[in-house]
Chains A and B, each alone.
Chain A
Amino acid sequence: MSNINRREFLKILGIGTFMGIGGWSMFEVVGKGEIEAFAEKYKKVPGALQAKRWAMVIDLKKLDQQIINDCTEVCHRIHNVPKILNPKEEIKWIWDEKFKNAFPELKDDYMSSEIKNMHVLVLCNHCENPPCVRVCPTKATFKRKDGIVMMDMHRCIGCRFCMAGCPYGARSFNWRDPKDYIKNENPEFPLRMRGVVEKCTFCYERLDRGLPPACVEASKGAIMYGDITDPNSEIRKILSSNFAIRRKAKLGTKPSVYYLL
């Protein structure tokens, strides 16, 4: 090896580098294999409802007080939402709002009081561009691949940035232990603890089992849902033939809940 010259040294160095790169790609292949094994271990239910982006259309003409009460009741019952009467501490996933408050930018001095005080069913809009997700410091709230803005209660630290970020007031903070405010718990769904934020989850647990959201089921046809990216979906047909509005659309959050007037 004593008679090695500069040229040979560089050759060896080059081959060595090349082998090194090859070795690195080997690591990558092994890594991918592991990821695939992970994917095989966890599966979706075969009948699970899937979409590129879930959306909802609420027909205000078809809503009446009975339907609004039914939707609210069933949602809050199956999701173990505590019933706290103090409006400063109440928890709500879906609720009854007056038109003038749900759509403040449409309020007009000469609007009929009938429209001003019309009952509107409001819930989390599952925005395409959700400000709550942007501000969450722990990624406890995030957007699923199907557009649902979800909460991972395990990660929520209760900072309430998301509540400040949400322009729709769709999020509620658990000031108290909700256990004391639920009469009949749904044994299939968990509760929350004191100090976390909660909201509507588009019934992800029902979609993942192949069922429509509970409010859609209870609404007697007043609420429709579907994949808004699919031009043949029911809601796309409704939106193409009707005039629909979204809450505070000019803010650019791109809500997924549409209202028919």
Chain B
Amino acid sequence: MYDGGKIIFGLIIFIALVTLPFTLGIGKEYIKANPKIDTPEIMKLPEAERKCVESKDFMRKEHMKMLIEWRDAVVRDGKTLYVNSQGKTFNMSLQNTCMQCHSNKSKFCDECHNYVKVKPYCWDCHLEPKENIKKEAGL
């Protein structure tokens, strides 16, 4: 093999660089996103009524699409009520419906969004729940 030493040296550097994301993580604690849904508003409800507009599974996967559909229905068509799969009706509003129960934006929204490093621009305009702002200011 011509220049074998150089090639092997190069390969070692290459492998070290490629595996860097893994080797750097060795020994570090793995912090899993842990969103909380135990706000006072939710805990106040009787156990049987502690349900979101759709199932937990659906919300986890589809909430972003759902919010976009809600936005189009409200802003474009003037339709403000959502009838869920159980036939229950909800007012479609991020500020006035979602965040009324999920009043813990930092522990509910941000927990996962930070984990997967997405920055939705909801809060550029929509108002965060008040108690949350107080907490952040107190920190």
Residue B52 CB within 8 A of the other chain: no
Query: A152 CA to B73 CA in the complex, in Å?
Result: 11
B80: A residues at CB distance < 8 A: 44-45, 48, 208-209
Query: A41 CA to B83 CA in the complex, in Å?
Result: 5
The stretch of B24-32, B41-49, B105-113, B119-127 in contact with A is B119-127
A187: B residues at CB distance < 8 A: 95, 127, 130
Shortest C-beta distance, A101 to chain B (Å), equals 31
How does the 8 Å CB contact mask read for A122-162 relative to B, with 1 for contact and 0 for none?
A: 00000000000000000000101110001011100000000
Q: Chain A interface secondary structure, helix, strand, loop or mixed?
A: loop
Query: A154 CA to B125 CA in the complex, in Å?
Result: 9
Tell me the A34-50 residues at the B interface (CB within 8 Å). Answer: 40-45, 48
Query: A47 CA to B83 CA in the complex, in Å?
Result: 16
Query: A41 CA to B81 CA in the complex, in Å?
Result: 8
Given contacts A187-B127, A190-B125, contact A42 B71 (CB under 8 A): no
Given contacts A142-B76, A152-B76, contact A192 B82 (CB under 8 A): no
State whether B79 touches A44 (Cβ < 8 A).
yes
A93: B residues at CB distance < 8 A: none
Query: A43 CA to B121 CA in the complex, in Å?
Result: 26
Residue A204 CB within 8 A of the other chain: yes
Residue B75 CB within 8 A of the other chain: yes
Shortest C-beta distance, B112 to chain A (Å), equals 21
Report the count of interface residues on A (CB-CB < 8 A).
27
State whether B124 touches A193 (Cβ < 8 A).
yes
State whether A188 touches B76 (Cβ < 8 A).
no
How does the 8 Å CB contact mask read for A208-243 relative to B, with 1 for contact and 0 for none?
A: 110000000000000000000000000000000000
State whether A45 touches B125 (Cβ < 8 A).
no
Given contacts A187-B127, A190-B126, A193-B125, contact A204 B79 (CB under 8 A): no
Residue A63 CB within 8 A of the other chain: no
B125: A residues at CB distance < 8 A: 153, 190-193
How does the 8 Å CB contact mask read for B74-93 relative to A, with 1 for contact and 0 for none?
A: 11111111110000010010
Query: A145 CA to B77 CA in the complex, in Å?
Result: 8
Residue B55 CB within 8 A of the other chain: no
Residue B132 CB within 8 A of the other chain: no
State whether A188 touches B79 (Cβ < 8 A).
no
Shortest C-beta distance, B76 to chain A (Å), equals 7
B121: A residues at CB distance < 8 A: 193
Cross-interface CB contact of B127 among A150, A154, A185, A207, cutoff 8 Å: A185
State whether A41 touches B95 (Cβ < 8 A).
no
Query: A54 CA to B86 CA in the complex, in Å?
Result: 35
A185: B residues at CB distance < 8 A: 127
Query: A150 CA to B78 CA in the complex, in Å?
Result: 11
B130: A residues at CB distance < 8 A: 187
How does the 8 Å CB contact mask read for B39-79 relative to A, with 1 for contact and 0 for none?
A: 00000000000000000000000000000010101111111
Nearest-CB residue, chain A, relative to B70: A42
B76: A residues at CB distance < 8 A: 142, 144, 150, 152
Nearest-CB residue, chain A, relative to B73: A42
Nearest-CB residue, chain B, relative to A207: B78
List 22 contacting pairs A-B, 8 Å CB cutoff, sorted by A: A42-B77, A42-B79, A42-B81, A42-B83, A43-B81, A43-B89, A48-B78, A48-B80, A144-B76, A150-B75, A150-B76, A152-B71, A152-B76, A154-B71, A185-B127, A190-B125, A190-B126, A191-B125, A207-B78, A208-B78, A208-B80, A209-B80
**9 interchain residue pairs of minimum CB distance:** A193-B124, A42-B73, A42-B79, A43-B81, A190-B125, A190-B126, A191-B125, A152-B75, A208-B80
